[in-house]
Amino acid sequence: MAPYDATAARMTVPLHDVAEAARLLLAGELVAFPTETVYGLGADARNARAVAGIFAAKGRPHFNPLIAHYASAAAAFADVVADARAAALAARFWPGPLTLVLPRRATCTVDLLAGAGLDTLAVRVPSHPLALALLAAVAVPVAAPSANRSGQVSPTTAQHVLEGLGGRIAAVLEGGACDVGVESTVLDLTDPKGAALLRPGGVTREAIEAVIGPVGQALPPALAAASATLRSPGMMLSHYAPALPVRLHAHDVAPGEALLAFGPPLPGAALVWNLSAAADATEAAARLFAGLRWLDAEGGRLGLARIAVMPVPEAGLGAAINDRLARAAAPRP
Ligand code: AMP
Ligand code: MG
């Protein structure tokens, strides 16, 4: 499949047809759709290139983890490990504006880029009838951040989506104005000893506590936002550092180094993962997390000492790729 080219001019088609929206999603295109909170920018979450397309279309400067949307709790819990708290919250609030962060299963079908390389995954079953119909029609997880350009406000009408992303995505499924207008509540359940509110949203802390007990003091919005940033490990400087040290801006390969290549690979490496032989940043984004993991595992097995990384130009998704590579190379705690 050709890499998703976010710079290619697209006719963004307003759709009323769920089946056509599902067909486009399964073909690797980006389709915005209404949820009860805001319009989401959907991609087949299993398709790395489509997920990379989300970051390209939004113009995000870094890869933050996306929420995977499902038609049912059963489908969501096939990809993550749900404990009793998650099951009780899902029974009470799904479909609805509550996102649960849970450990990924080994068999999780969601692409690593969608989860920003984390071992956890944020999952949600939205309640908007069109969202549910679309998710049921595709029967795959759909990664969907808010359907706006990076830095702009979240869209609550199809017209907002067209204003921000028109020409950059395949279609928007028309569903009128969203009811809630605020984003979903994000609750971290990865610590069995305590749930943590990462982002306040459509379901209140009190309503959650009525089901699973204390969630801890809710923070004022500004602090909650800062804390969510800190707690989302994708944002931390040294998060997801491979076990092997990482050397950036490599123009040659030293003995004992594995190579993360971009474009024609440098000679001399015992182990090579090419992000994109064609030096395409969107293809490179789609292959970044899988490549780091593979080089780390295989390089470790082969007794290699380090991962050398060829320079990636800052243009387009190159900036987000370099942000992530800088984190992988940052000094370890
Ligand atoms: P949005 O992009 O607006 O849909 O927001 C997604 C929210 O979920 C952000 O606040 C993310 O930081 C958070 N999130 C998604 N996945 C995870 C995860 N695995 N761990 C922690 N936070 C997450
Ligand atoms: Mg947003």
Where in the chain are the domains?
A: 13-231, 246-329
273: CA distance to ligand 2 center in Å? 32
Ligand 1 neighbour 186 (Cβ under 6 A): yes
Q: Which of 38, 3, 83 is nearest to 179 (CA)?
A: 38
Read off the pLDDT of each residue in 121-126 and give the average, rounded to a whole number: 98
State pLDDT tens for residues 193-242. Answer: 899 999 888 898 999 999 999 996 545 444 544 544 544 444 444 455 78
Tokens of 305: 């000492």
Q: Going by CA atoms, what residue is nearest to atom 2 of ligand 1? A: 145
Strand partners, 32: 41, 172
Dihedral angle at the C-alpha atoms of 142, 71, 93, 123, nearest 10 degrees? -30
Ligand 1, atom nearest to 232 Cα: 21
Cβ(118) to ligand 1 under 6 A? Answer: yes
CA of 69 to the centre of ligand 2 (A): 15
Distance CA 29, CA 54 (A): 10
What is the C-alpha separation between 256 and 254, in angstroms, rounded? 6
Residue labelled with tokens 């969601």: 110
Residue 18 pLDDT class (50, 70, 90 cuts)? very high
Average pLDDT over residues 134-155: 94
Name the residue with tokens 């400087």.
237
With contact defined as beta carbons under 8 Å apart, do 207 and 227 qualify?
no
Give the CA angle between residues 136, 52, 245 to the nearest 5°: 125
User: What does the buried/exposed string (b/e) look like for 24-46 if buried means 16 or more CB atoms within 10 Å of the residue's CB?
Assistant: bbbebbbbbbbbbbbbbbbbbbb
Give the rounded distance of the alpha carbon of 314 from its chain centre: 20
What is residue 8's predicted lDDT score, i.e. its pLDDT? Answer: 66
Q: Which atom of ligand 1 is nearest to the CA of 190?
A: 20
CA gap 270, 272 in Å, rounded: 7
pLDDT at 236: 45
List the beta bridge partners of residue 172.
Answer: 14, 32
Domain 13-231 has CATH 3.10.580.10: no
Per-residue pLDDT, averaged over 93-118, amounts to 96
Write down the pLDDT at residue 237. Answer: 42
Give the pLDDT band of residue 90 (cuts 50, 70, 90).
very high
How far away, in angstroms, is 172 Cα from ligand 2 center? 17
Sequence-ordered alpha helix ranges (H) in 66-177: 73-76, 84-93, 129-138, 158-165
Sign of torsion over alpha carbons 140, 19, 33, 47: positive
Helix, strand, or coil (residue 308): strand
Probe residue for ligand 1, chosen from 38, 54, 67 as the CB with the greatest number of ligand atoms within 8 Å? 67
Helix (H, G, I), strand (E, B) or coil at 186: strand
Considering only CA atoms, which residue is closest to atom 21 of ligand 1? 232
37 lines ligand 1 (CB under 6 A): no
β-strand pairing of 171-173 with 31-34: parallel
Q: pLDDT-based confidence at 331, cuts 50/70/90?
A: confident
pLDDT digit string, tens, across residues 72-81: 999 999 999 9
Indicate whether 102 pLDDT > 50: yes
With cut-offs at 50, 70 and 90, classify the pLDDT of residue 4: low
Ligand 1 near 124 CB (within 6 A): no
- Under the banding of pLDDT at 50, 70 and 90, the label for residue 152 is confident
CA distance 130 to 173: 8
Environment class of residue 48 by beta-carbon count within 10 Å: exposed (0-12), middle (13-18) or buried (19+)?
buried
What is the atom index within ligand 1 of the atom nearest the CA of 235?
Answer: 12
- Does ligand 1 lie within 6 Å of residue 89's CB atom? no
Confidence of residue 11 (pLDDT cuts 50, 70, 90): confident
Check if 10 has its Cβ closer than 6 Å to any atom of ligand 1: no
pLDDT tens digits, 257-293: 999 999 999 999 999 999 999 999 999 999 998 899 8
Residue 1 has pLDDT above 50, yes or no: no
Tokens 């009811």 belong to 179
| Ligand 1 contacts CB of residue 53 (under 6 A) | no
Q: What is the pLDDT of residue 153?
A: 85
Condensed to tens digits (0 to 9), the pLDDT of residues 33-66 reads 999 999 999 999 999 999 999 999 999 888 999 9
Residues of the chain above pLDDT 70, percent:
89
- Predicted TM-score (pTM) of the model is 0.86
- Ligand 1 neighbourhood includes 183 CB (under 6 angstroms): yes
> Of the residues 110, 154, 198, which should be mutated to test ligand 1's pocket, given the most ligand atoms within 8 Å of the CB?
198
Residue type (1 letter), 298: E
Residue of 39, 54, 66 to mutate, ligand 1, most atoms within 8 A of C-beta: 66
Q: Which residues contact 183 (CB under 8 A, 6 or more apart)?
A: 37, 38, 97, 146, 154, 199, 201, 202
Q: How far is the CA of 153 from the centre of ligand 1 (A)?
A: 16
Report pLDDT for 333.
Answer: 62
Please give the Cα distance from 42 to 34 (Å, whole number): 10
Q: How many Cα atoms occupy the beta-carbon half-sphere of 164 within 13 Å?
A: 23
pLDDT at 139 over 80: yes
**For ligand 1, is residue 198 a contact (CB within 6 Å)?**
yes
Give the model's pLDDT for residue 289: 87
